[in-house]
Chain A
Amino acid sequence: MLTIKNLHASIEGTPILRGINLEVKAGEVHAIMGPNGSGKSTLASVLAGREEYEVTEGEVIFQGKDLLEMAPEDRAREGVFLAFQYPVEIPGVSSTNFLRTALNQVREYRGQEPLDAVKFLSLMKEKMKLVEIDQKLLSRSLNEGFSGGEKKRNEIFQMAMLEPTLSILDETDSGLDIDALRIVSNGVNQLKSDKNATIVVTHYQRLLDYIVPDYVHVLYKGRIVKSGTKELALELEEKGYDWIKEEVDSAAV
């Protein structure tokens, strides 16, 4: 589904990603872990098409298409979804209106009929249950005045509505209490199928107790320096990142 080859990216001339290689197949869950500043969020942003990052080398193929050539909206329409680390508050745009516009733009791109108000509302009601989100929240301006947990739940709710092929969860667990974490993870797990894939970007292992990964990759200084299964995450939880840093840094000398 997704093939990342030798991906290099920089921001304002500073290289952040220095040769990422990653293969994600349908049905898989990949966790990207790593210390702060290792490039985890950059990778998520580059995949979603954030313009500040300049890709200097490498390629990303998503379902046979060159992802890097596409505008952010086209990536979303092709089925890439980024759950933001910091969802943006947009006063004056109601969540409902926003989602309906987004959903219908995605449907139009895929050659589907737009949903009318009735069908849209019933779909919304169905998906709301997944993340236990209150309808009152959705009649308000997008994310405005939402708590941290409500914002993250809203991200997963949007994901449920848009039914992406590849979901990238950027630090979705940060700042969540255990109840919210359980709700969010539960939503993600229910959306999982053998046709879609998930990349979970996280600093902490805790989330992976709830969203169990097939593969764990450790990112450090812009490269994947270690890959393994969920046991690697537990090892990191126990020993921290220093041993990996040392391994990599001594190898470089």
Chain B
Amino acid sequence: MSTLTTQDTFDVLLESAPQNFSALRTAGKELYQSAGLPVAKAEEYKFTAITKKLEKSISDFRAASPISISKNQIIESTFKGFDGYTLVFSNGKFLPELSSQIEGIEVSGLNESTGGVGTIAKAEKDAFAALNQATFNGGISIKVPKKVQVDKPILLLSFNQSNDGQVITPRFWIEVGDFAEVTFIDQSVGLVDSPYFINKVVEVKGGINSQINYYRLQHEGDQVIEVSNIETDVLADARFTSVNISLSGDMVRNNLSLNLLGSNCEGNMYGIYLLNGKTHVDNHTNVDHTIPHAESNELYKGIFDEQSRGVFNGKIFVRQDAQKTNAFQQNNNVLLSEDAIVNTKPQLEIWADDVKCSHGCTVGQLDEEALFYLQARGIDKTLAKGLLLYAFVGEVLEKIEDESFKNHVVGLIQNRLGSKF
């Protein structure tokens, strides 16, 4: 095994990248090479030593080829009660033959005629976004035409497994027309518990007055390393809501960016991390208020047990023109073990003077008095703990509008907390 260094870690991947999108890939490669992987203590990755982790845990930095997926696997991996359309991916590659046909929507593999790719998730902002742009394999384009209201949620079901290589580079391009409405559920399934690295980019181009929900469940094996960049443009009168649920993994870094570009739009970022073992999850969010009269809401709640670790960094930019902005941010954390760590940081930069902004971060422990109160009524201590923790994250769960997905997540969380009631 060769010794890898920051400089050449992804050289093999870059050299064997697909041939299409050549201009885009060349630009991505140049940006990646000039930025390099984050060095130790790099500001944006200060608490998440992703480079070190990759070099330690991944030995084969080639792309993992798609594996064959059976219809049965799809059925087994689809959560109970789900009623919607399913789009299937294998190691990042879209499998149309196994996916639902969705009437009135254009779904295809990503190709150069798609247009717009790389214009929303800007490669210059993050080395991994640049690396994805240079090396993505396959990818998908989903276009919801103007005024189309997709009647059921769309499940983006990704099957992952290290194969001939251990790097998976999915790329989603989602375009939602003016007045269109759609809900996505992004869920990955690890087929075997082996180490692999997912470097994902999702670009969402929302139209005027569009309504988009993007729900995401991270619940793969404990050896998975993932960096994702999800970025969206939100136009006038539109609403974009992200709910991100992280339950496992080795090291996970989520970059979520909302660009609020039209007045009266709304951007919502919600999340739960419920971690144990040595799982490390880092949520970096960024909302950019560029215009007046827009609103953003953010609420992330974390529960950390054993030696797990969480990072929250919430950036809010309110540009000079963005008067009458409403921007709210909150991150609350509970540590259940002395070995768990959380680093939380709000980062507000406000240039406008007539705005309403608030932020708050808390890190605490389980309320012992509340625990005693429940026990004193006959409730078992473990169950009482579970009830309190479930109540703690309940506020975020309420943001999930799709009932079947909500029930699925509630089930997973109650199971983890031992709080079924």
Give A contacts to B, CB under 8 Å: 48-51, 71-73, 75-77, 81-82, 84, 87-88, 90-93, 97-103, 105-106, 109, 141, 158, 162
Q: Ordered nearest first, which 5 A-B pairs have the shortest CB separation?
A: A92-B391, A76-B378, A72-B375, A102-B377, A106-B378
The answer to whether A158 and B377 touch across the interface, beta carbons within 8 angstroms, is yes
A159, closest chain B residue (CB): B377
- Of all chain A residues, the one with the shortest Cβ separation from B397 is A92
Contact A105–B380 (Cβ < 8 Å)? yes
Q: Does B351 contact A (CB under 8 A)?
A: no
Would you call the interface of chain B mostly helix, strand, loop, or mixed?
Answer: helix
Residues in B whose Cβ lies below 8 Å from that of A84:
373, 376
Is the pair A77, B381 in contact by a Cβ cutoff of 8 Å?
A: no
Asked if residues A101 and B379 are in contact (CB atoms below 8 Å), the reply is: yes
Bound: A105/B420 CA distance, A: 12
Question: Which of B372, B377, B387, B395 counts the most chain A CB atoms within 10 A?
Answer: B377
- Which B326-385 residues sit within 8 Å CB-CB of chain A? 367-370, 372-381, 383-384
User: Chain A interface mostly helix, strand, loop or mixed?
Assistant: helix
Smallest Cβ-Cβ distance to B394: which chain A residue: A92
Q: Show 26 A/B contacts (Cβ-Cβ < 8 Å), sorted by A.
A: A48-B376, A49-B372, A51-B372, A72-B375, A73-B375, A73-B379, A73-B384, A75-B376, A76-B378, A81-B376, A84-B373, A88-B369, A88-B370, A90-B373, A90-B388, A91-B391, A92-B391, A92-B392, A93-B387, A97-B421, A98-B374, A98-B379, A100-B421, A105-B378, A105-B379, A105-B383
Q: Is the CB of A162 within 8 A of B387?
A: no
Residue of B nearest to A45 (CB): B372
Selected from B378, B391, B394, B421, the residue in CB contact (under 8 A) with A73 is: B378
Bound together, the chains give a CA A141 to CA B370 distance in angstroms of 13
Complex interface: chain A residues within 8 A of B381 (CB): 71-73
Set of chain A residues within 8 Å of B370, measured between Cβ atoms? 88, 90
A98 partner residues in chain B, CB cutoff 8 A: 374, 377, 379, 387
Contact B391 A93 (CB under 8 A): yes
Residues of A within 8 A of B387 (CB): 93, 98, 101
Asked whether A71 and B391 contact (CB < 8 A) given A88-B370, A90-B370, A101-B421, the answer is no
> Are A76 and B376 neighbours in the complex by a CB distance under 8 Å?
yes
Contact pick for A93, options B369, B376, B380, B388, CB 8 Å: B388
Instruction: Decide yes or no: A71 and B369 within 8 Å by CB, A92-B392, A92-B394, A93-B391 being known contacts.
Output: no
List B residues at the A interface (Cβ < 8 Å). 367-370, 372-381, 383-384, 387-388, 390-392, 394-395, 421
- Bound-complex Cα distance A141 to B392 (A): 12
Chain B residue nearest to A48 in the complex (CB)? B376
B292 to chain A, nearest CB (A): 34
Smallest beta-carbon distance A52→chain B, Å: 9
> Residues of B contacting A81 with CB < 8 Å?
376
Task: State the CA gap A114–B375 with chains docked (Å).
Answer: 18
Cα distance, A105 to B379, chains bound together (Å): 6
Residues of A contacting B421 with CB < 8 Å? 97, 100-101
Q: What are the residues of chain A within 8 A of B367 when measuring CB–CB?
A: 88
**Nearest chain A CB to B309's CB is how many angstroms away?**
25
Chain A residues near B379 (CB-CB < 8 A): 73, 98, 101-102, 105
Check if A50 sits within 8 Å of B391, measured CB to CB. Answer: no
Q: How far is the CA of A154 from the CA of B390 in the complex (A)?
A: 23
Contacts of B395 in A (CB 8 A): 92
Contact B376 A90 (CB under 8 A): no
Give complex CA distance A141, B388 in Å: 12
State the CA gap A90–B259 with chains docked (Å). 36
Residues of chain B lying within 8 A (CB to CB) of residue A88:
367, 369-370, 373
What's the nearest-Cβ distance from chain B to residue A222, in Å? 22
> Are B373 and A50 in contact, with the CB atoms below 8 A?
no
Chain B residues with Cβ below 8 Å from A71 are 375, 381
B387 → chain A, closest Cβ, in Å?
A: 6
Q: Report chain A residues within 8 Å CB of B373.
A: 84, 87-88, 90
Write out the residue numbers on chain A whose beta carbons fall within 8 Å of the beta carbon of B392.
92
CA distance A93 to B395 in the complex (A): 11
Most B C-beta atoms less than 10 A away, residue of A48, A50, A90, A103:
A90
Question: Which residues of chain B come closer than 8 Å to A102, judged between CB atoms?
Answer: 374, 377-379
Interface-central residue, A82, A92, A98, A100, by most chain B CB under 10 Å: A92
Q: Which residue of B lies closest to A101 (CB)?
A: B421
A100–B377 alpha-carbon span in the complex (Å) = 11
Q: How far is the CB of A249 from chain B (nearest CB, A)?
A: 34
In the docked arrangement, what's the CA distance between A73 and B374, Å? 8
In the complex formed, the residue of B with least CB distance to A73 is B375
A99–B378 CA distance with the chains assembled, in angstroms:
10
Closest Cβ neighbor of B419 among chain A residues: A101
B369 partner residues in chain A, CB cutoff 8 A: 88
Task: Name the distance in Å between A66's Cβ and chain B's nearest Cβ.
Answer: 18
| Chain B contacts for A106, CB-based, 8 A | 378
Taking the closest CB of chain A, its distance from the CB of B364, in whole angstroms, is 14
